[in-house]
A and B are shown apart, each in its own frame.
Chain A
Amino acid sequence: MIPELGQFALALALCLALIQATLPLLGAARGRADWMALARPAAAGQFVFVAIAFGVLEYGFLTDDFSIEFVALHSNSALPAFYKFTAAWGGHEGSMLFWIAILAIWTMAVAAFSRSQPDEFVSRVLGVLGIVSAGIIAFALLTSNPFVRLTPAAFDGNDLNPLLQDPGMIFHPPMLYLGYVGMSVPFAFAVAALLTGRLDKNWAKWTRPWTVAAWVFLTIGITLGSWWAYYELGWGGWWFWDPVENSSFMPWLMATALLHSLAVTERRGIFKSWTVLLAIGAFSLSLLGTFLTRSGVIISVHAFASDPTRGLFILAILGLICGGALLLYAMRARYLEAEGGFKLVSREAFLMANNILFVIATGAVLWGTLNPLIIDALGLGKISVGVPWFNIMFLLPMLPLATLLGVGMHTAWKQMAAEPLLHRLRWPAAIAVVAGIALPLAIFGTTSVLTAVAVTIGIWVCASAALDPVRKLISRTGGPLTRAQLGMCLAHFGVGVFILGATVASAYNLEFDTSARPGDRIQAGGYEFVFRGLRTANGANFVADEGEFELRKGDDLIAVLTPQKRVYRVQQTPMTEAAINTNLARDIFVALGEPLGDNAWSLRIQVKPLIGFLWLGSALMALGGLLAVTDRRYRLIRQEQAATNAAAQQTIGAA
């Protein structure tokens, strides 16, 4: 009975989403306040029913209700409780419900924090979000219902894919979805503004914190995914240009461009139509990502389903929503005239370069991701695109972008003379070039042109990002930096740290496969690995062979590493659980391969310098974004408005 309640709740949510998608929009067009007033209650009601549906599914998982097909396929009574909880988004149907729930959360947040904005605008924003929501809920109900019953009920479940039984899985999908789906908010703002015909600085000011918030989640989500792949997929890589990775990375690239373009629109009131296009583009890429991962055109750990009707349905939603938005844009673009100019050396010019380079990078990734699918669909053969191509096509726009970033941060709006700029940046530039060439040589003994260039750029970005905060700290003149400025410096510093990590970890990665018997000693990268032996280790739902390795440097014992080879009981699938010893300077990674007979095992050993900088750099980017969102001026908009609202209330009360 309870699962049917979930399905019923979802159907009610669809009805409310349809109301939210129609009446407020019509009301805004016709100036009917009573229709517009439906937007917030409809959104709230939808949120409640989606929450009930999601709660019912979770209840099914936690109580081992194997009469629900989705639960039976993705859980097992022996599965630890928190994996039962996360298994709800470990399969196609549940993850679509999760997508809907996240959209409902964003919608509620918009409804709650938009009291300061004109009703007409808010009803349009919520109306657009309602259209998206109605599309996805209909998709879930018609093609991917998580509440379908299994008759007769299964005695026990099929268990969650062992790869997903990991703490990283608890946070990666929610963060990623919050980011992915959060792109619907700037999209809705853009469409609403196109409908209203008013795209001004205020619109940019409202859109910006939402975009940054979604971007922060997306950054964290992608980083967690990459980190998870690094330690859980077993073999120490952190980015594979896999279509599924790309489908979350493309919205990120576009959203990053959007952030920067919004800065120009907010400050100067220009780049408007470009900003709108980016907002539409970022959400379209999010939907495209949903299509790629959920339609079964790509097979990977993420792609659960291969039902062609699902793919067509998502493609139709994608076409309707994005096609509609683009059509509207085409009709309204001529009203989006710019009102100010700028010179070649100005913040605007650098941000324009940023946007162009980000769009080029997105285009390259998009091309490399879609091309094999198109060729396959046309029956012209099965191809895959080599990783080197992606690396080159990504680095080509990104290296100049990072170089320009350091200059752009210190350039004034409108125009600036080149001389003070050069004067200001001469020290960071000199330090970066010297250190970029000398440091790798001094520490690792060798370098290459690309390594020297990339390390130089990494240090350059860090140095130019740190310049302003450090100066303020020393001279103590002028006011303190605002949170937005500090956030920008921190995020850019994170970019530099990330570049250093990516470069050094790729260029000086030591990796080899070998075979060893208990008692063997292996030398690698100045470390000694002593294979002490194997034992059996059992978990709740798996048995494992656990190797024991002493990690030594000289006479010191640094750590005892215990990599495992697990076999999960239900699915009988083996899994490599690598052991990693981490500090800021390097990761040491040992993974068990398989028994080679005669007591020997194959092993993979890796020493990865500075790989921690990848996660640190990404975390700094996210933290910078978080600082920027909490900037005073965004709180001020709300407070000012709250004050006027309160005043209005009083006059009404007095009357």
Chain B
Amino acid sequence: MTPRRQRMMLIGLVLVGVVVSATLALRAFQENLVYFFSPTQVAGGEAPERAFRLGGMVVEKSVQREPGSLTVHFVLTDFANTVPVSYTGLLPDLFREGQGIVAIGQLQGETFVADEVLAKHDENYMPPEVAEAVAKARGAETQ
């Protein structure tokens, strides 16, 4: 082979490699995306079977502990619809009734089983997704 053809071969191989690895990376990316859904979307049957993020306000007086275990049940709302959630483990410091939170997990029947509960920041804070979901649900009500 002439040096020129060799170089073209090399460039070709590198290009193929780049395209293949980029495709694989993007596919893996798609599979690792976690989507956000609001209680209204869940009630409308829009939520997928795989893991997603659910956000809303913890309904007052809905938090119940199973005696003798770390399992907690509570209800999330966007003030239009509600979803019951169960979670086993330690809750974050800022988890409390009336607080906006995000839970990551899967639907099992009607109940959302969370692997992780996120509640960060100060008492006035609402996760932006939750704030938007609440605003949307309120908007739908008034129409």
Residues of B within 8 A of A299 (CB): 120-121, 125, 127-128
Stretch at the interface among B1-9, B65-73, B75-83, B105-113: B65-73
Residues of B in contact with A, size category: 20 to 34
A393–B69 contact, CB under 8 A? no
B94–A393 contact, CB under 8 A? no
A301–B120 contact, CB under 8 A? yes
B65–A596 contact, CB under 8 A? yes
Interface residue ranges of A188-236 to B (CB < 8 Å): 234-235
Residue B74 CB within 8 A of the other chain: no
Closest to A574 in B: B93
B93–A576 contact, CB under 8 A? yes
B65–A573 contact, CB under 8 A? no
Contact with B along A568-605 (1 / 0, CB 8 A): 00011111100000000000000101101110001110
Query: With contacts A383-B36, A386-B33, A572-B123 known, is A393 near B28, CB below 8 A?
Result: yes
B32–A367 contact, CB under 8 A? no
A234–B93 contact, CB under 8 A? yes
Residue A392 CB within 8 A of the other chain: yes
B102 CB, min distance to chain A CBs, angstroms: 9
Contact with A along B15-34 (1 / 0, CB 8 A): 00000000001001101111
B65–A389 contact, CB under 8 A? no
B29–A573 contact, CB under 8 A? no
Query: With contacts A299-B128, A515-B68 known, is A573 near B32, CB below 8 A?
Result: no
Residues of A within 8 A of B67 (CB): 597-598
How far is B94's CA from A597's CA once the two chains are assembled, in angstroms? 18
B29 CB, min distance to chain A CBs, angstroms: 6
A571–B25 contact, CB under 8 A? no
A596 CB, min distance to chain B CBs, angstroms: 6
B129–A368 contact, CB under 8 A? no
Interface residue ranges of A373-400 to B (CB < 8 Å): 381-386, 388-389, 392-393
A385–B29 contact, CB under 8 A? yes
Query: With contacts A514-B70, A515-B68, A572-B123 known, is A382 near B129, CB below 8 A?
Result: yes
A384–B53 contact, CB under 8 A? yes
Interface residue ranges of A351-382 to B (CB < 8 Å): 364, 367-368, 371, 381-382
Instruction: From the candidates A371, A389, A573, name the one contacting B94 in the complex (CB within 8 A).
Output: A573
How far is B34's CA from A383's CA once the two chains are assembled, in angstroms? 5
Contact with A along B112-143 (1 / 0, CB 8 A): 00000000111101011100000000000000
B25–A364 contact, CB under 8 A? yes
Instruction: From the candidates A367, A381, A575, A603, name the one contacting B35 in the complex (CB within 8 A).
Output: A381
Residue B12 CB within 8 A of the other chain: no
A301–B121 contact, CB under 8 A? yes
Instruction: From the candidates B33, B36, B120, name the one contacting A385 in the complex (CB within 8 A).
Output: B33
Known: A235-B90, A513-B88. 9 other contacts (CB 8 A): A300-B120, A301-B121, A382-B35, A382-B53, A383-B34, A385-B32, A513-B89, A573-B123, A604-B90
Of all A-B residue pairs in the complex, the 6 with the closest CB atoms, nearest first, are: A389-B32, A386-B32, A382-B36, A593-B90, A574-B93, A383-B33
A interface, CB within 8 angstroms of B: 161, 234-235, 299-301, 364, 367-368, 371, 381-386, 388-389, 392-393, 513-515, 571-576, 591, 593-594, 596-598, 602-604
Q: List 29 A-B contacts (CB under 8 A).
A: A235-B90, A299-B125, A368-B29, A371-B29, A381-B36, A383-B33, A383-B34, A384-B34, A384-B36, A384-B53, A385-B32, A385-B33, A386-B32, A386-B33, A389-B28, A389-B31, A389-B32, A392-B28, A393-B25, A513-B89, A513-B90, A515-B70, A573-B122, A574-B93, A593-B90, A594-B90, A597-B67, A598-B67, A604-B90
